[in-house]
A = this chain, B = another copy of it.
Amino acid sequence: MSYIVQKFGGTSVATLDLIKKAALRIKAEVEAGHSVVAVVSAMAGTTNTLVNYVRDLSTTYDRAEYDAVVSTGEQITAGLLALALQSLGIPARSWQGWQLPIQTSSHHSHAHIQEIQTHRLTEAAKKGLVSVVAGFQGVNADGRITTLGRGGSDTTAVALAAALQAERCDIFTDVDGIYTADPRYVSAAGKLNQIAYQDMLELASQGAKVLQRDSVELAMKHGVRLRVLSSLSETPGTLVTGEHELQTTRRQVSGLAHSLNHVKLTLCALPASVSLNNMTAPLRENHIALDMMHETLSLQGECRDVSFIVSAADAERTIAVLRDSKDKLHFQDVLTDSDIAKISVIGPCFQTDHSPHRKLFQTLKEKGIAVQAVASSDIKLSVLIAASEMKRAVSHLHTVYQLDAEEC
């Protein structure tokens, strides 16, 4: 049997009318001879309402109860989409995570999928039923409901597609594909018809919000072909797949990503005797991820300023952890700068081809945009600049890297 997994995000099932539209999408695949397994998010807004209930009751809430409450959003949508399919004459039924089961770790509110039992889904498919699976949720070894954290429904969909060896995993969302840059900032940004897993992974890591990094990584690991497309238009979207399937050779630069969602912290006058490894130890212990670290040597050479960025959500906690470690680290002060943007250039061959590096620094210099820090890997170049310069920088780089095409 040839399976297709179709995942509908919160904005794609936000109303009953949209749920009916999703059912029509599924119907088309069923009529084309496929066995469809649908995965749904909560109707847009529902999860926020439930999260606010929990937070209003308790600031240090029990994450097991949070999961029991918040997972209901997906349960509701799953039942409603099954009903909408039945109304179209398509036999269908809903499944909760615990009913399959989707077995997860016990890390409530950010659990990891450990195993998916698919035999109930394959039996249902043999009977001609479309299965609608509640995304984002699973069950742990104690039989308690868990949730997978942000982007969890994408992860459910990709994991199901892998387990079912599905032909394709469609991710329906509110944009019609992956773009060379964020169209809100770069008017010349073009939709990619296809992109390699590696490039998508870097785009997702560097701030492109359409797909979560974890689900791209999972898709790459299992060779799940992803198609990102809009539930509101009939355009074909973007195929995320392995290099062997790409119809064109990968270009020097696949796309640009950017993020305004970071804060730069600077530890002032950190003694030379404190290594960067010692400095970052308390942050690692608290599972705080830092990036773009750079040092500014002082004239005396006995101490220096160390700067790095953390996600805005972690900023307050990071400062608290650093202040608690002041006795060990002996720095003078922590400065905060939230007026920063991180821009990343993604491409396949930065290790062998250094011209993208040159173009990056030359362009920013010509346009008078100051680079605060730099980081690079085989397939990624990142720079830190002032937030106010972000739009200008991304637009110019988009042109310089010849991404201003109609479609790529």
Contact = CB atoms under 8 A, between A and B. Distances in A.
Interface of A: 16, 19-20, 50, 53-54, 56-58, 61-62, 64-66, 68-69, 72, 75-76, 78-80, 82-84, 86-87, 93-94, 96, 98-99, 143-145
Contacts of A83: 54, 57-58, 61-62, 65-66, 69
A302 to B, nearest CB: 50
The 8 closest A-B pairs by CB, nearest first: A69-B79, A72-B72, A68-B79, A65-B79, A57-B83, A58-B87, A65-B82, A65-B83
A87 B58 CA distance: 6
A75 B69 CA distance: 7
A75 B96 CA distance: 13
A147 to B, nearest CB: 12
Contact of A69 (B53, B80, B145): B80
A16 B53 contact: yes
B99 A80 contact: no
A75 B72 CA distance: 7
Most buried by B among A76, A86, A87, A145: A76
Contacts of A145: 96
A69 B76 contact: yes
A19 B57 contact: yes
Given A57-B87, A64-B93, 7 more contacts: A54-B79, A58-B87, A65-B79, A68-B82, A69-B79, A72-B72, A99-B144
This protein's copies in its complex: 2
B96 A80 contact: no
Interface of A is mostly: helix
Contacts of A86: 58, 61-62, 65
A96 B76 contact: no
Contact of A79 (B66, B79, B82, B87): B66
Most buried by B among A62, A86, A87, A94: A62
A76 B51 CA distance: 11
Nearest to A82: B65
Contacts of A66: 79, 83
B53 A65 contact: no
Nearest to A59: B87
A16 B57 contact: yes
Most buried by B among A66, A68, A82, A93: A68
Contacts of A80: 53-54, 57, 65, 69
Given A54-B83, A56-B16, A68 B78 contact: yes
Contacts of A19: 57
A69 B93 CA distance: 12
Given A16-B56, A80-B57, A65 B87 contact: no
A69 B80 CA distance: 7
Contacts of A94: 65, 68
8 contacts: A53-B80, A54-B79, A54-B80, A57-B80, A58-B83, A58-B86, A64-B93, A72-B76
Contacts of A64: 93
Nearest to A67: B79
A47 to B, nearest CB: 12
A137 to B, nearest CB: 12
A93 B143 CA distance: 13
A117 to B, nearest CB: 12
